[in-house]
Amino acid sequence: MISYILRRTFAAVILLLVVTAVTFAIFFLLPRMAGQTADQLAQQYIGKSPTKADIAAVKQNLGLDEPLYAQYWHFIKGIVSGATYNLGPTTAHCDAPCFGYSFKNHVAVWPQLTSRLPVTVSLAAGAAVMWLVSGVVIGVISALKPRSFFDRTFMGVALAGVSLPMFFTGNLALLLFTYQWPIFGRTYVPFTENPAQWANTLFPAWCSLALLYSAIYARLTRSGMLETMNEDFIRTARAKGLRERNVVARHGLRAALTPIITVFGMDLGLLLGGAVITETVFSLPGIGQYAVQGITDNDLPPILGVTLLAAFFVVIANLLVDLLYAAADPRVRLS
Amino acid sequence: MTELSKTGAALGEPAPGNAPDAFLAVRDLKVHFPTDDGLVKSVDGLSFQVEKGKTLCIVGESGSGKSVTSLAIMGLHRLGAQGKHVQMSGEIWLDGKELVSADPDEVRRLRGREMAMIFQDPLSAMHPYYTIGNQIVEAHRVHNDVSKKVARKRAIEMLDRVGIPEPDKRVDGYPHEFSGGMRQRAMIAMALVNNPELLIADEPTTALDVTVQAQILDLIRDLQKEFGSAVVLITHDLGVVAEIADDVLVMYGGRCVERGSVDDVFERPQHPYTWGLLGSMPRIDRETSERLIPVKGQPPSLINVPSGCAFHPRCPYADIPKGDVTRTVRPELQQVGGGHFSACHLSPEDRTRIWTEEIAPKL
């Protein structure tokens, strides 16, 4: 078990290195391949109409004139031991782990990520609880009475839930419950400051996000339960004389929910890397919004940083899911 | 209804509605499932009885209604999504209680306590995520108000009784960690944990290694002697029947075609389908050069059961009775000896002649 975790952790580190290489290549190799010169890259970091000398200086400061592998090496070194950027007249130090430095806003990327992470975690965790509970409950009831009125109604709502984009449901929720009838707050307040206000502001975002996901989870649970309730071991449980609700809860749900762990872990991991659209719609200052800002500003380091953070969460979620699954299903051996 | 009472009277049983003397008595049981393709008559008028301490084997091909019969006795066919559409009639008497008309919750309380069931494939019949011990403990605690500790002691005791070595260790094992035979033993331990008086075994040896089959049958027989329970064993393996049965019931197309003691059915079978089953059974005392004689054709559809005698399309002797009686009139069970019944249009003389001259010498 311990050796398995160690091996998986080692593999995760390797995987993340590969992810940095690929991401780095996308941001710095692809523009070169598309014919952009180092000069043009450097120009992005200076104000309007720069002189030749300015460009050359920036190029040198940022290391854009170095070969790509050297640039990549600097980047990796920065994550481990920090980096110092020469900004011409001044220098900026970026402490380890340094995930780059935004030259547009003159701030290091990592502190930005850590300060925004609680927002994204708040959004993802709250929504996850909501969609998991509602999705599973609806799924189970639907599976126990397939093709009933309840089943058809909720599977219809579920279909709408998956189909409606966040631009629509999110904005509708905002319009109705934040502006028309101002029940919910507009600006994010950290949990540590005021938990009630925190929940109050996040609630519409949670609901909108949960609607999207609970639809998927209701369908997953429903099909899983329908399959499980036809298994032989369910018949055995009934043959023991168990009450039907115990048959469903102890034997049916236990087996049907285990595969959902996998999907849930992956979804949560993905969301922690930034719920881009939800954060934008609800003006939540999270990771996703940071990425959008970086893209709009054509600011590469924040985008690179967010991409790596997202990859990190997905890899970690994957590892946790495998460990959890082994704990939930005794037939799975970790070796 | 007149038909039914006639058969009932012929079988020497009390009239319908009255409690029978037998421990388990099934009377004119019908279990029908409506489907999109039509009404599936899985069991269509079945009657039999089993005394305590006796074993009844129900034999027949796949789809003859044997498993549905066993599920119906347990009340299990009515549960689940499919269950609410089931149409069921007739009577099932267990120890003086009628189960078909009983409240489902009352039947539930009998399940696992007075009647228990062993299933065909012990791997899929046990929950993969719970230990063997937990599953036996659960079975015990449903009907007994005891602590987990006491129930666990009982589980270990039962595992020991069914011949599982190191029961105090294996009790914490998961089903997938057991071999097929050990798993079936554990399944039997689970079924017997509450000392049921009726044990139903649905093909308990089919999924097992041949070498293990005999051990499991021995175990069932020993436990039956010890507990004095009635056993209904569903199988398609006549070897199993010869090994364990007191009485045999041969099912075809959801109905009983022959019923009698194991000697009656093996030594003096009175139905062409039984002859077919006996002819297709490999025997160790037969020359290896001799071929088995299969029953030609396919088992009947339970939606469109053939008219008249359901077996007539496959019966080599269907043309012997005069007229088209085999195609138009459904044969009822008739007594052909003490406790021996057969549903066939052939005259007793014809049956005796065909059996002694044509069938028996080939077996």
Q: Which stretches of chain B sit within 8 Å of chain A by CB?
A: 74, 76, 79-81, 108-113, 116-117, 119, 121, 124-130, 138-139, 142-143, 174, 176, 190-191
In a domain, A274, yes or no: yes
Of A43, A72, A98, the one marking the end of a domain is: A98
Shared domain check, A324 and A303 = yes
Q: How far is A147 from chain B (nearest CA, A)?
A: 10
Model-level pTM? 0.84
In a domain, A230, yes or no: yes
- List, for residues B315-352, the tens digit of each pLDDT value: 999 999 988 899 999 999 999 988 999 999 999 999 99
Tell me, what CATH number does A231's domain have?
Answer: 1.10.3720.10
What's the whole-number average pLDDT of chain A? 88
Look at residue B14 in the predicted model and tell me its pLDDT.
Answer: 56
> Half-sphere exposure of A259 toward its Cβ, with a 13 Å CA cutoff?
13
Shared domain check, A242 and A133 = yes
Selecting from B127, B174, B176 the residue whose C-beta is nearest the C-beta of A233 gives B127
* List of chain B residues whose C-beta atoms are within 8 Å of the C-beta of residue A250: 138
Shared domain check, A185 and A321 = yes
Tell me if A254 and B127 make a contact (CB, 8 A cut-off).
Answer: yes
Percent of chain B with pLDDT over 70: 94
Of A78, A98, A118, the one marking the end of a domain is: A98
Of A35, A66, A98, the one marking the end of a domain is: A98
pLDDT at B9 over 50: no
Structurally, how many domains does chain A consist of? 2
Look at residue B281 in the predicted model and tell me its pLDDT.
Answer: 81
Got the DSSP string for B68-132? HHHHHHHT-TTSSTTGGG-EEEEEEEETTEE-SSS-HHHHHHHBTTTEEEE-S-HHHHS-TTS-H
Selecting from A229, A255, A258 the residue whose C-beta is nearest the C-beta of B81 gives A229
Look at residue B12 in the predicted model and tell me its pLDDT.
Answer: 46
In a domain, A334, yes or no: no
Look at residue A20 in the predicted model and tell me its pLDDT.
Answer: 87
pLDDT at B10 over 70: no
The label of the residue with tokens 């004119």 reads: B28
Q: How far is A267 from chain B (nearest CA, A)?
A: 25
* List of chain A residues whose C-beta atoms are within 8 Å of the C-beta of residue B67: none
Look at residue A47 in the predicted model and tell me its pLDDT.
Answer: 64
pLDDT at A42 over 60: yes
Look at residue A103 in the predicted model and tell me its pLDDT.
Answer: 76
Decide: A276 and A291 in contact? Cβ < 8 Å: yes
Interface mutation target, options A238, A244, A324, A329, chain B, most CBs of B under 10 Å: A238
Query: Could you tell me which residues come within 8 angstroms of residue B111 by beta carbon, excluding any fewer than 6 positions away?
Result: A238, A239, A240, A241, B74, B75, B76
Q: How far is B186 from chain A (nearest CA, A)?
A: 13
Look at residue A100 in the predicted model and tell me its pLDDT.
Answer: 83
Secondary structure (3-state) at A55:
helix
> Whole domain around residue A139: which residue ranges?
110-328
Tell me if A239 and B142 make a contact (CB, 8 A cut-off).
Answer: no
Shared domain check, A234 and A87 = no
* List of chain B residues whose C-beta atoms are within 8 Å of the C-beta of residue A236: 119, 125-127, 190
* List of chain A residues whose C-beta atoms are within 8 Å of the C-beta of residue B204: none
Look at residue B288 in the predicted model and tell me its pLDDT.
Answer: 67
Identify the top-confidence range among A274-278, A330-334, B264-268.
B264-268
Superfamily the domain B2-114+196-362 falls into? P-loop containing nucleotide triphosphate hydrolases (3.40.50.300)
pLDDT at B79 over 90: no
* List of chain A residues whose C-beta atoms are within 8 Å of the C-beta of residue B127: 233, 236-237, 251, 254-255
pLDDT at A227 over 90: yes
Instruction: Give the least confident one: B20-24, B160-164, B175-179.
Output: B20-24
The encoded tokens of residue A186 equal: 């507009």
| CB pairs < 8 Å spanning A and B | 76
In a domain, A80, yes or no: yes
Shared domain check, A223 and A147 = yes
- List, for residues B46-76, the tens digit of each pLDDT value: 999 999 999 999 999 888 999 999 999 999 9
Shared domain check, A160 and A50 = no
Over range B188-196, report the average pLDDT. Answer: 94
Interface mutation target, options A235, A248, A331, chain B, most CBs of B under 10 Å: A235
Tell me if B128 and A239 make a contact (CB, 8 A cut-off).
Answer: no
In a domain, A104, yes or no: no
Shared domain check, A170 and A285 = yes
Q: Which stretches of chain A sit within 8 Å of chain B by CB?
A: 144, 146, 226, 229-244, 250-251, 254-255, 258, 328-331
Q: How confident is the model at residue A298 (pLDDT cuts 50, 70, 90)?
A: confident
In a domain, A105, yes or no: no
Please choose, from the candidates B56, B32, B86, B40, the residue with its C-alpha nearest in 3D space to the C-alpha of residue B251.
B56
Q: How confident is the model at residue B8 (pLDDT cuts 50, 70, 90)?
A: very low
Query: Could you tell me which residues come within 8 angstroms of residue B179 by beta carbon, excluding any fewer than 6 positions away?
Result: none
Look at residue B38 in the predicted model and tell me its pLDDT.
Answer: 92
In a domain, A333, yes or no: no
Shared domain check, A154 and A20 = no
